[in-house]
Amino acid sequence: MTADAARHVARVLEGLRGHDLFRRNAFRVTGLPTDATQRQVRRAREESRNAYYVPPERPDAPLPPSSDETELRAAFEVLQDPVARLVHELLWADGAARDARADGVVRLCRALEGTARDGTVDEGAWADWSSGLAAWADGITSAATGELARRRVEAADDPRLTVGVGREARRQLAQHVVEVAAGIAARQVHTDPEATTRMVRTLRYAGFDAGTVPRALRAVARPLLEEVKQACDAAAAAPQHEGLAAARTLLDTTDEPLRLLDTLLGEDPLLDASRDDVGRQVNNVVVAYGNDHVDLIRRGRAPLDEIIALLSAARDLGGSATRALADDNLEVFVAARRRFGSRRERPARDAPVRAGTPGLVDRLDRGGMWAWLLALGPGPGLVGGLVVGLAGGSWFWGLAVPVFVAYLVARARCARRSWGGPWVIGIVTGAAAGTASVVGSLAPALLLAVFLVLVVAVTVGESS
């Protein structure tokens, strides 16, 4: 058998896809028996040119014939080609043969008729899909089907149709019917994943040769695989300083395609490779961002918590090599967080603001640490100083304690854990306390100076 013959069979099958698998069968369209002679075919063709021609119905055929002039013309052309005729005959049943192949054709006809074009399968059609695919898997490879093909080769006595071509037709037909069922599964994967899972399970348990079902599922999964690849390419093209945003977008964009691929493919090397591509690309863009922001990391102003979370996601998706790479990078960034601390990103300016007290918190979060200090420091400090002073105590400590508590709350709220700020405020506050013990009347002014130094330091830090 030549490669040209294999391509010839493939071209014939191209016209028999999806719901046209049986409806465009030449024997179904013309109503002719599968063992019709060439003389019978020529006579039927001549009669079909009559405007009042009605194709004969066969009681054992699973579908009625067609009276469409275009369909009839195409069907008679098929019957003139010995290779195409054999393919169509093996994909039809009219009572001439009663074996597993013919039984599979009848059941699969019913199954397709009970399946909408969007892939929705009627509950009653599931039994036909299950039994039809099992019968087809057994019948198309059976000795009876092989003998039928051999007889047709001998009867045709045509150099285009050989035993090798008949064998290739049977091989491609087995794969082709599985691809039709896999296509039904793919149509439902977005809207009804459970139906997709059911069809995939039906295919896997039908009894086809190893590799037949995985090849068909990979073929229908190509659009999803391409979607993941394009998302990875887009992330790779992002500038270094946008690495975190690119990683988040990549994870969000590929979450659904990867989930749908898992439904279609299950445990499959192609799915593993797609996951690894996403994990590796997330790792790459996050590390690139880190390399571009070394100075911020050393000053404790980089969002290391988010970097670590993204690298952990990359590790979970990746294969062994990507996991090892992510582990190495995680070790580096976790150590950096311990040493330098992490800064939480401010909420987006256009983020929605809640009502009531939560809304006030949202507005303070937008302003960052500076806003929290101004909100929590002066008021409680003045009240505390006044109360302690009236009680005969030191104004200084009445003011100092609320202001320092405000500072700690603001740092905790804004996730600022670098050590520079606490040392500065500790030294300045200690100096102020020592001075206040000597010159008590200057304590409020000194405390105000401390607070202003704090505000200036925070403002500079927030803007850097």
Residue 351 in any domain: the answer is no
How is residue 55 annotated by DSSP? Answer: P
- The mean of the pLDDT values for the chain is 84
Q: Is the pLDDT of residue 436 over 60?
A: no
Predicted local distance difference test score (pLDDT) of residue 312 = 96
Residue 420 banded pLDDT, cuts 50, 70, 90: very low
pLDDT computed for residue 59 by the predictor: 82
Asked if residue 171 and residue 117 are part of one domain, the reply reads yes
For 33-37, 166-170, 301-305, 386-390, which range has the lowest pLDDT when averaged over its residues?
A: 386-390
Token representation of residue 375: 């909100």
Whether residues 249 and 199 fall in one domain: no
Cα–Cα distance measured from residue 192 to residue 184, given in angstroms and rounded to the nearest whole number = 11
Query: What one-character-per-residue DSSP string does 123-188 give?
Result: TTHHHHHHHHHHHHHHHTTSHHHHHHHHHHHHHH--TT--HHHHHHHHHHHHHHHHHHHHHHHHHT
For 191, 196, 209, 275, the CA distances from 263, given in Å and listed in that order, are 12, 7, 21, 14
| Confidence band, pLDDT 50/70/90 cuts, at residue 411 | low
Residues 205 and 264 in one domain: no
More confident residue, 17 or 402: 17
Q: What is the pLDDT of residue 280?
A: 97
List the domain range (segments joined by +) for residue 273: 222-340
Confirm whether 402 is domain-assigned: yes
More confident site: 434 or 280? 280
Share of residues in the chain with pLDDT > 90 (%)? 61
Report residue 413's pLDDT band, with 50, 70 and 90 as the boundaries. low
CA distance 19 to 60: 20
Q: Is residue 84 packed enough to be buried (19+ CB in 10 Å), middle (13-18) or exposed (0-12)?
A: buried
Q: Does residue 311 share a domain with residue 227?
A: yes
Do 387 and 252 share a structural domain? no
pLDDT at residue number 262: 96
238 conformational bin, left if phi > 0, alpha if psi -120 to 50, beta if neither: beta
User: pLDDT value at position 51?
Assistant: 80
- For the ranges 42-56, 126-140, 415-429, 444-458, the lowest mean pLDDT is seen at 415-429
- Count how many domains the chain has: 3
Instruction: Indicate if 453 and 331 belong to the same structural domain.
Output: no
Tell me: do 141 and 78 sit in the same domain.
yes
Confidence tier at 392 by pLDDT (50, 70, 90) = low
Q: What is the mean pLDDT of residues 204-228?
A: 96
Question: Residue 99, by phi and psi: left (phi above 0), alpha (psi -120 to 50) or beta?
Answer: beta
Of the residues 340, 371, 387, the one at which a domain ends: 340
- The reported pLDDT for the residue numbered 132 is 97
Per-residue pLDDT of 189-205, as tens digits, reads: 999 999 999 999 999 99
Mean pLDDT of 274-300: 92
Per-residue tokens: 6: 């294999």
Query: In this structure, what token pair is assigned to residue 263?
Result: 């439904």
In a domain, 34, yes or no: yes
pLDDT value of residue 340: 78
Same domain, 75 and 10: yes
Q: State mean pLDDT over 213-232.
A: 96
The alpha carbon dihedral of 404, 406, 409, 410 has a sign of negative
* Greater pLDDT, 437 or 130: 130
Q: How many Å is the Cα radius of gyration of the chain? A: 38
Percentage above 70 pLDDT, the chain: 73
Residue at a domain's end among 186, 209, 232: 209
Confidence of residue 58 (pLDDT cuts 50, 70, 90): confident
pLDDT in tens, 308-317: 999 999 999 9
Cβ density class 176-192: b for 16+ within 10 Å, e for less: bbbbbbbbbbbbbbeeb
Distance CA(369)–CA(413), nearest Å, equals: 8
Last residue of a domain, one of 143, 176, 209: 209
Same domain? For 201 and 258 the reply is no
* pLDDT tens per residue across span 150-176: 999 999 888 999 999 999 999 999 999
User: Is residue 216 a part of any domain in this protein?
Assistant: no
Residue 48 in domain: yes
